[in-house]
A and B are shown apart, each in its own frame.
Chain A
Amino acid sequence: MEYRLNTPVTKEELSVLRAGDRVLLSGTVYTARDAAHQRMMERLDRGEALPFALEGSAIYYVGPTPERPGQVIGSAGPTTSGRMDKFSPRLLELGQPVMIGKGARSREVKEAIVRNGAVYLAAMGGAGAVMSASVDSAAVVCWEDLGCEAVRRLHVTDMPLTVVIDSLGNDLYETGPEAYLKSLESENETGN
């Protein structure tokens, strides 16, 4: 199935998504990766507000290349999400419902996804030039000193994504390869 989603998203909208579905996401997406997550945690520890509202928001794990004159953004594909596993459950509990990245997530993150009706979406890893085409505008929100790791506010239109972990805890990285291998077995049974 293919769905169109706009941010801020609601849990009802996310509840129909299933691992393997395609999503075209439009609206505001915040970029944050390793160092920005670390700083967000420090702010939360001090009881301070985060640089953007978490409720209904989408966080994209990306460190784009610098834009050339006339470009909105450089290449902007996802980074490996597993490095954010340590931080994500805390953000999910605070109402942050959409994570965008690539690669496997921990059991703790999956449990937090199910508990909070969140989703984990994959952008196309290593396809930085294609991913940047859906970005209409980009502006640094904070922590400019982090360079490519600064938090940016992106406005995106029809950003092409794949549901990897849905709100029931189904994981495409498990079900996808299993389904492919099963198709080979049934091919062998019928073919030979």
Chain B
Amino acid sequence: MKIISAAQITQAVAELCIRANRELPPDMESAMRLAEKTEPWPIGADTMSVLCRNIDAARENGLPICQDTGCACVFAELGQDVHIEGDFEAAVNAGVSRGYTEGYLRKSMVQDPLRRGNTGDNTPAAITVWLVPGDSLKLTVAPKGFGSENMSRLAMLKPADGVEGVKRFVLETVKLAGPNPCPPIVLGVGIGGTFDKVAYLAKHALLRPIDQPNPDPFYGLLEKELLDEINALGIGPQGFGGKTTALGLNIETMPTHVAGLPVAVNVSCHVTRRASTVL
């Protein structure tokens, strides 16, 4: 059994909040640089070059890549042989508060969805915990901006709608989103499960690097087909027109009920952020 203190968790979360907001993950940065080279439409290519310059400017000046430093989505893979000394949730939130304050990140959380009121330190985090074998704790912070989050959709399709129904829904979601989610976008697609689980699958799909296809070849191929069809829509970088509408699309699935085919699309932007550490 390993003992991990609340203070260790707080410190790790604080550092991850800052790192995730200033540095894109390697798969995202490579995809952006590649799109800058391959975008054939002039205004699209110009736009990609500004967006790549922005990655450099953030790194050089210690600035967040995007001013929407997001809702702090924190994922914990908690080994079942770990003993946490102290309150886990309070430790994570203390880390978010410290990271967003010390890192000069934007505080975007309101305490009540209708009565609003900024909480002042970007807490609370949106926390997901998975219990896994082992004696380590892997923490991932994936700050999520709401320009893209707001464009996400969920549908309870009929089993007879099949793969074509899923494709139609994903493409419809991208068309409806248009320029709003800051294309080039990244899509997390959940298929199966229940009403709540399918949304979780879509969010979870955004944690996988976009250069790693689904290990099931059937879904790996579907990811590629959907990405190609999205990039034939013409929306382009920032919605000004062009080839590069999406940089990646990840699918996660789950068994579901005989009567159902839930599908959820979590839309993310060209600043799809995630940073991890293992304690």
Binding site for B on A (CB under 8 A): 20, 35, 62-68, 71, 74-77, 79-80, 82, 102-104, 122, 124-130, 132-133, 146-149, 160, 162, 172-173, 175-181, 183-184
Interchain CB contact (< 8 A) of B65 among A75, A148, A175 = A75
Q: Which B residues lie within 8 Å of A184 (CB)?
A: 234
Closest to B51 in A: A127
Q: Are B241's CB and A178's CB within 8 A?
A: yes
Residue-wise interface mask of B (98-122) relative to A, using a CB-CB cutoff of 8 A (1 in contact, 0 not): 0000001111100000001010100
Among B56-64, B130-138, B152-160, B162-170, the stretch in contact with A: B56-64
CA A173 – CA B242 in complex, angstroms? 11
Q: How far is the CA of A184 from the CA of B180 in the complex (A)?
A: 24
Does B73 reach chain A (CB closer than 8 Å)?
no
Query: Can you show 20 pairs from A to B with CB atoms below 8 A apart?
Result: A62-B67, A65-B64, A65-B104, A65-B105, A74-B67, A75-B66, A77-B68, A80-B150, A129-B58, A132-B63, A147-B107, A147-B120, A148-B106, A162-B238, A173-B239, A176-B236, A176-B241, A180-B41, A180-B234, A184-B234
Taking residues whose C-beta sits less than 8 angstroms from the other chain, chain B's interface range is: 35 or more
CA distance A66 to B65 in the complex (A): 13
Question: Would B147 and A148 count as touching, CB distance under 8 A?
Answer: no
Chain B, Cβ-Cβ closest to A180: B241
Q: How far apart are the CA atoms of A150 and B120 in the complex, in Å?
A: 13
CB distance from A68 to the nearest CB of B (A): 5
List which B153-194 residues lie within 8 A (CB) of chain A.
178-180, 182
Q: Does B126 contact A (CB under 8 A)?
A: no
Q: How far is the CB of A11 from chain B (nearest CB, A)?
A: 25
Main secondary structure of the interface of A (DSSP, over half): mixed
Report which residue of B58, B147, B242 has the largest number of chain A beta carbons within 10 angstroms of its beta carbon. B147
Residues of B within 8 A of A175 (CB): 241
Report yes or no: A173 in contact with B53, Cβ–Cβ below 8 A.
no
Q: Which of B50, B57, B68, B243 has the most CB of A within 10 A?
A: B68
Which residues of B pack against A, CB within 8 Å? 41, 43-44, 47, 50-51, 53-54, 57-58, 61-69, 104-108, 116, 118, 120, 145, 147, 150, 178-180, 182, 233-236, 238-243, 269-271
Q: Which 6 residue pairs across A and B have the least CB separation, nearest first?
A: A176-B241, A125-B182, A103-B180, A180-B241, A129-B57, A127-B54
Q: How far is the CA of A119 from the CA of B68 in the complex (A)?
A: 25
Of the candidates A65, A71, A82, A175, the one having the most CB atoms from chain B within 10 angstroms of its own CB is A65
Whether the pair B63, A128 counts as a contact (CB closer than 8 A) is yes
Name the CB-closest residue of A to B184: A126
Query: With A74-B67, A79-B68, A177-B236 in contact, is A68–B270 under 8 Å at CB?
Result: no
Q: Is the CB of B238 within 8 A of A125?
A: yes
| Cβ–Cβ < 8 Å partners of B116 in chain A | 35
Residues of A within 8 A of B65 (CB): 75, 126, 128-129
Contact A146/B118 with A124-B54, A126-B270 known, Cβ cut-off 8 Å: yes
A129 and B180: CB pair below 8 A? no
- Whether the Cβ atoms of B241 and A179 lie closer than 8 Å is yes
Give, as a whole number of angstroms, the nearest-CB distance from A38 to chain B. 9
B204 CB to nearest chain A CB (Å): 22
A66 with B241, Cβ < 8 A, contacts A35-B116, A103-B179, A180-B44 known: no
